[in-house]
Amino acid sequence: MPELPEVETVMRGLAALAEGRTILRAEARRPDLRWPLPDRFAERLAGRRILGFRRRGKYILTRLSGGESLLIHLGMSGRMVAKPAGVALAPREGPQGRFSDMRGNTGALHEHVVLLLDDGTRIGFVDPRRFGCLDLVPTDAEESHPLLAGLGPEPLSDGFTPAALSAALAGKRTPIKAALLDQSVVAGLGNIYVCEALYRAGISPRRSAHTVAGARAGRLVPAIRAVLAEAIGAGGSSLRDYVRADGEIGRFQETFAVYGREGEPCPACPGPPCPGVRRIVQAGRSTFFCPRRQR
């Protein structure tokens, strides 16, 4: 479930491995991702130099020579699995399975796209559920891409202020939980970090979005910032491995106060009268919160 911190971590890992390198060859093994790969995708990548990386919301933008950028979205289950130059891809156990192509290269099952770099690095886009997508976009028009055009402010940027958030929430009658998942309100939050940020800010996920203004918005903005910054700083400890050869999935849930902790004591007010962490369903998705601390 890559949200902003995981995408940031993956992007940094890719940058360390691939910035300045040239794509010798690309393979499109399965074009039917969330949207079909663009025409002649693999051919258009070959020979390009990788100039730099940036992140926008949950999207990675890879600036290439020739005036185009590679847009990457990891969806729900997407990973970038990299084999650094000169390192053999370690055999891997488990349900991911393995395969060998006709050249003898091995990779994980569901490896839909492969980039081969000029120093021998091999980067695979692996996405079992295929909710992710890849596209090519003119670099000078990245922000006009249909998937990026409607995104709200970056939560870690200066533009994300309590006043800006209040303005974006004004008139919205939906629960604040649903509003924060709306990428046009703020870009990059997913279910986990919305739950955690609302907990830190002491705001009920059921509260009508337009009432989050003034002091509440003043608490929520720094709460969002803090939880994202901590998650990034924690190494995306869960997902730093996503860009490693072994594709190991790290620890995840240990750092969370409420997410996935239904029935457990609230970290801030353990014991009665606090009923502990509750789970409700909003817009078809689980919300975890402390009903005593969050109002």
Partner DNA sequence: CATTAGCCCTGAGAGC
Partner DNA sequence: TGCTCTCAGGGCTAAT
Residues 170 and 214: beta-carbon distance below 8 Å: no
Pick between residue 21 and residue 73 the one whose CB is nearest to DNA: 73
262 is catalytic: no
Length of the chain: 295
Pick between residue 17 and residue 236 the one whose CB is nearest to DNA: 236
285 is catalytic: yes
Q: Find the shortest distance in angstroms from Cβ 114 to DNA.
A: 18
Nearest Cα to Cα of residue 23 among 51, 55, 53, 4: 51
Q: Where are the alpha helices (DSSP H) in the chain?
A: 4-18, 41-45, 162-169, 176-181, 191-201, 214-233
Q: Find the shortest distance in angstroms from Cβ 213 to DNA.
A: 15
Q: Which of 3, 8, 111, 142 is catalytic?
A: 3
Pick between residue 94 and residue 271 the one whose CB is nearest to DNA: 94
| Interaction site with DNA (CB under 7 A) | 1, 3, 32, 34, 57-59, 73, 75-77, 94-96, 109-110, 128-131, 146-147, 150, 171-174, 178, 181, 183, 190-192, 283-286
Alpha carbon distance 35, 169 (integer Å): 30
Tell me the CA distances in angstroms from 173 to 95, 206, 215, 263, one per residue in order. 43, 10, 19, 29
Q: Which of 12, 34, 285, 292 is catalytic?
A: 285
Q: Find the shortest distance in angstroms from Cβ 219 to DNA.
A: 22
Q: Is 77 helix (H, G, I), strand (E, B) or coil?
A: coil
172 is catalytic: no
Pick between residue 211 and residue 237 the one whose CB is nearest to DNA: 211
Q: Find the shortest distance in angstroms from Cβ 178 to DNA.
A: 5
Phi, psi of 178 (to 5 degrees): -70, -35
Q: Which of 44, 48, 58, 63 is catalytic?
A: 58
Residue type (1 letter), 212: V
Pick between residue 146 and residue 273 the one whose CB is nearest to DNA: 146
| Both structure tokens of 106 | 């091995």
Alpha carbon distance 37, 134 (integer Å): 6
| Both structure tokens of 51 | 């100039």
58 is catalytic: yes
Return the active site residues.
Answer: 2-3, 58, 285
